[in-house]
Amino acid sequence: SQSTAKLYINASDPRVTISRHIYGHFSEHLGRCIYDGFWVGENSSIPNKGRIRLDIVEALKKIKIPNLRWPGGCFADEYHWRDGIGPRKQRPTMINTNWGNVTEDNSFGTHEFLELCDMLGCEPYITGNVGSGTVSEMNNWVEYLNFDGQSPLTTLRKENGRNKPWNVSFWGVGNESWGCGGNMTPEYYVNEYKRYATFAKNYPNARLKKIACGASDGDYNWTDVLMKNVGTRMWGLSLHYYTVPKSWSDKGSATSFDEKEYFTTMKKCLFMDELVTRHGTIMDKYDPDKRVAMVVDEWGIWTNVEPDSNPAFLYQQNSLRDALVAGTTLNIFNNHADRVRMANLAQTVNVLQSLVLTQGNKMLLTPTYHVFDLYKVHQDAKLLPLQLNVPDYQYGDQKMPAVNASASVDSTGAIHISLVNLDAAHTIPVTTTISGSNWHTVEGQVLTAAKFTDINTFDQPGNIRPVPFSHARKEGDQLVANLPPLSVVVLTLK
């Protein structure tokens, strides 16, 4: 059977831009993402600015985080923004019913979130409350955030320390309205969307990019009903899909699994390609010019929580397998960049497929973080279409393509190719032919480890990290690279 991969890249006529917003992240009031994550205690000795943790900010700036979604998730549809402004001591508390019935003290609210985005240099993506809020509550929030004139709400904003509007642009109209956001049918949600969206106003210099709640997994009917009835009156339509290694009742461990479970996980991860393709085909039917963005604003691997941690806090470790999920999914998004223009990994800190884990004053960068670091070269670069002819990764009588890839050319003319070898045992040589480019040099980095279960720990945070890759070279006009098993490789050609 075939053991080498062939890759053909057409660099002669790049058209589609890979939006940097595909590389977005998500921070919900859930477990230790905000509290004891981004946001530290009042007198914490952990270096912080206004209680925002600086080591996390530095780490996320390094990977050029383009946007951050907040305040949920399911939490968004029970969040009342007015509870999270004004003097902190006077803010009311509430119960976070979705995530462990813990008391939410509202100390992290609108101003704090937007200060965080400012420090990160990223765009905020706020999801408004449709499920248990009101149209006027959402309308008021947008006015508070984005209006530059005189009004009672802008006076209040100024009293709370912010003169200028923030001009928030990404605006979610509810979250998972088919489930925790209100258990609505798509037909019912269409009407709700229209009503809420009508009163979520555009102010001068602050046009909202409204994102409608989209489907879960393969609910193609939801996409059809939304596209048919809302169509281009939304900027984007979301899609949620999680890679669950086993089943929702027993998702599987984050760190202890065998090759069979690894194989199944990667198969489920690759299903994202089918989802994006099929939802995209429905969108094409109503919007052939691809004006509406597909926004995959929740994705990632969802495993059982770490032993002895609060089951409602969704704290999971992050192994080399997570990195392979990230690399593969981002390749899928890049290759569908004509429609997928935004995505958000769930979630940034201490929740699900995190980039960052914290323990007291310690912080570690997960294998997933390093994939975002390696892939940042694709942000806002032009997609180069590619064709792949690859060997299978076989397990028992099952198989899947062993290698996936995407390629782009940046504004300086450098070509970036990201390759993932999912095969657990075999090094795979990849021979690449690139038409329309006169490149001379290649360099790269690789992220790999001995086992798919390998992790970074607080004691050994550098176990898995990118290192220079020396197994790529120019042979005649071709690029030849030997991809180690279980690896993410990013090459730069100049």
Choose between 24 and 73: whose C-beta lies nearer to ligand AHR. Answer: 73
Choose between 193 and 263: whose C-beta lies nearer to ligand AHR. Answer: 193
- Give the active site residue among 78, 115, 143, 298: 298
Q: Smallest distance from the beta carbon of 207 to ligand AHR, in angstroms?
A: 26
**Which residues inside 419-448 make contact with ligand AHR, applying CB under 6 A?**
none
Count residues binding ligand AHR (CB under 6 A).
Answer: 10
Q: Smallest distance from the beta carbon of 131 to ligand AHR, in angstroms?
A: 11
Choose between 223 and 404: whose C-beta lies nearer to ligand AHR. Answer: 223
- Residue 101 and residue 89: Cα distance in Å, rounded? 21
Output the CA torsion sign for 167, 169, 173, 176. negative
Interaction between residue 176 and ligand AHR (CB under 6 A): yes
Query: Torsion-angle region of residue 431: left (phi > 0), alpha (psi -120 to 50) or beta?
Result: beta
Choose between 297 and 423: whose C-beta lies nearer to ligand AHR. Answer: 297
**Which residues inside 24-83 make contact with ligand AHR, applying CB under 6 A?**
28, 72-74
> Mask 347-386, x = binds ligand AHR (CB under 6 A)?
x----x----------------------------------
Choose between 38 and 147: whose C-beta lies nearer to ligand AHR. Answer: 38
Q: Smallest distance from the beta carbon of 110 to ligand AHR, in angstroms?
A: 19
- Residue 70 and residue 49: Cα distance in Å, rounded? 20
Q: Smallest distance from the beta carbon of 73 to ligand AHR, in angstroms?
A: 3
- Give the active site residue among 104, 143, 176, 192: 176
Q: Smallest distance from the beta carbon of 250 to ligand AHR, in angstroms?
A: 17
Q: Smallest distance from the beta carbon of 242 to ligand AHR, in angstroms?
A: 7
Interaction between residue 343 and ligand AHR (CB under 6 A): no
Interaction between residue 298 and ligand AHR (CB under 6 A): yes
Q: Please write down the HEC assignment for all residues of the chain.
A: CCCCEEEEEECCCCCCECCHHHHEEECCCCCCCCECCCECCCCCCCCEECCEEHHHHHHHHHCCCCEEEECCCHHHHHCCHHHHCCCHHHCCCEEECCCCCEEECCCCCHHHHHHHHHHHCCEEEEEECCCCCCHHHHHHHHHHHHCCCCCHHHHHHHHCCCCCCCCCCEEEECCCCCCCCCCCCHHHHHHHHHHHHHHCCCECCECCEEEEEEEECCCHHHHHHHHHHCHHHCCEEEEEEEECCCCCCCCCCCCCCCHHHHHHHHHHHHHHHHHHHHHHHHHHHHCCCCCCEEEEEEEEECCCCCCCCCHHHCCCCCEHHHHHHHHHHHHHHHHCCCCEEEEEEECCECCCCCCEEEECCEEEECHHHHHHHHHHHHCCCEEECEEEECCEEEECCEEEECEEEEEEECCCCCEEEEEEECCCCCCEEEEEEEECCCCCCEEEEEEECCCCCCECCCCCCCCCCCEECCCEEEECCEEEEEECCCEEEEEEEC
159 counts as catalytic: no
Q: Smallest distance from the beta carbon of 83 to ligand AHR, in angstroms?
A: 19
Choose between 74 and 293: whose C-beta lies nearer to ligand AHR. Answer: 74
Interaction between residue 104 and ligand AHR (CB under 6 A): no
Q: Smallest distance from the beta carbon of 456 to ligand AHR, in angstroms?
A: 22
**Which residues inside 136-175 make contact with ligand AHR, applying CB under 6 A?**
175
Choose between 143 and 176: whose C-beta lies nearer to ligand AHR. Answer: 176
Q: Smallest distance from the beta carbon of 100 to ligand AHR, in angstroms?
A: 12
298 counts as catalytic: yes
The stretch near ligand AHR (CB under 6 A) out of 305-313, 345-353, 370-378, 452-460 is: 345-353
Can you tell me which of 138, 346, 356, 402 binds ligand AHR, judged by CB under 6 A? 346
Choose between 344 and 456: whose C-beta lies nearer to ligand AHR. Answer: 344
Q: Are strands 403-409 and 382-384 parallel, antiparallel or unpaired?
A: antiparallel
- Residue 322 and residue 249: Cα distance in Å, rounded? 20
- Residue 163 and residue 62: Cα distance in Å, rounded? 29
Q: State which residue has the least CB distance to ligand AHR.
A: 73
Choose between 74 and 381: whose C-beta lies nearer to ligand AHR. Answer: 74
Nearest to 343 by CA among 447, 272, 409, 412: 272
Nearest to 25 by CA among 358, 319, 372: 372
The stretch near ligand AHR (CB under 6 A) out of 101-109, 344-352, 443-451, 481-489 is: 344-352
Interaction between residue 297 and ligand AHR (CB under 6 A): no
Catalytic residue set: 176, 298
Residues that bind ligand AHR (CB under 6 A): 28, 72-74, 175-176, 298, 346-347, 352
